[in-house]
């Protein structure tokens, strides 16, 4: 089940705009370790996340709409 999520995040990161937009949720992947979700408040830019997690592959995660008000 996590495999499809990793593929979806990889595709989403390729479709993301080239500029350095801020995101609240980031996927951080180190070699040999399961990916983790990191949440920032306020939102963080790619350069900020990369500085905190050197050597990791990072990708912004899509926000999930729950429909709840």
Chain-centroid distance of CA 37 in Å reads: 7
pTM of the predicted model, to two decimals?
0.65
Domain total of the chain: 1
Inform me whether the pLDDT recorded for 17 exceeds 90: no
Q: Is residue 39 part of a domain?
A: yes
Q: Is residue 44 part of a domain?
A: yes
28: domain range? 2-60
Query: In this structure, how many other beta carbons lie within 10 angstroms of the beta carbon of residue 27?
Result: 21
Q: Is residue 69 part of a domain?
A: no
Inform me whether the pLDDT recorded for 4 exceeds 80: no
Q: Is residue 31 part of a domain?
A: yes
Confidence of residue 23 (pLDDT cuts 50, 70, 90): very high
CB 53 within 8 A of CB 47: no
Q: Is residue 42 part of a domain?
A: yes
Length of the chain: 69
Confidence of residue 2 (pLDDT cuts 50, 70, 90): low
pLDDT in tens, 29-66: 999 999 999 999 999 999 999 999 999 999 998 777 67
Q: Is residue 65 part of a domain?
A: no
Q: Is residue 7 part of a domain?
A: yes
């Amino acid at each position: 089940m996590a495999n499809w999520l990793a593929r979806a995040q990889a595709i989403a990161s390729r479709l993301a705009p080239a500029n350095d937009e801020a995101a609240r949720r980031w996927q951080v992947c180190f070699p040999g370790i399961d990916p983790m979700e990191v949440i920032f408040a306020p939102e963080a830019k790619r350069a900020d996340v990369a500085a905190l997690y050197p050597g990791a592959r990072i990708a912004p995660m899509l926000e999930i709409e729950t429909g709840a008000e």
